[in-house]
Amino acid sequence: MVSLAGEIDLANADAHADLLRALLDLTEASTVIVDCDDLTLLGSDAMSMMRRVHRHGAARGVDVVWVRLAARHRHTLQLTGLDRELHLDARRPVLRR
C-alpha cells in the first residue's frame, strides 16, 4: 500500500506518476492499493496521473486500486468517466496506520 497526501497538481503530478510507476515496476504483488484519504486536491493533472498509473499497472499485470477517496473526488471522477476506467474501492475503509 502507498498513500497520497496533499495536493497533486501541475507542479508535482509527473513526479507522483513516476514514483508510482517505479513502484509498480518493482513489485511482485498482483495488487497495489493507493490510499487517497489525505489527498486534498484532485485536479485534472491528478486525474491524468491516476490514469497513467492505472494503465502502467495493467500493462504489467498489477491491479491498482484507489481507496478512501473523498466524496468530492469520487464525484469528479464520475463526471469525467474515469470512475469506469480506474479501480475504485466502493467503500471508504478505515485502515490502520
Q: Give the domains, in start order, of the chain with CATH numbers.
A: 2-88 (3.30.750.24)
Q: What is the band of 93 on the pLDDT scale with cuts at 50, 70, 90?
A: very low
Average pLDDT over residues 73-78: 94
Residue 22 half-sphere exposure toward CB, CA atoms < 13 A: 6
Give yes or no for residue 96 having a pLDDT over 60: no
pLDDT of residue 72: 93
Q: Quick check: 53 and 24 in contact, CB under 8 A?
A: yes
Q: What is the band of 89 on the pLDDT scale with cuts at 50, 70, 90?
A: confident
Please write the tens of the pLDDT for every residue from 19-57: 999 999 999 999 999 999 999 998 899 999 999 999 999
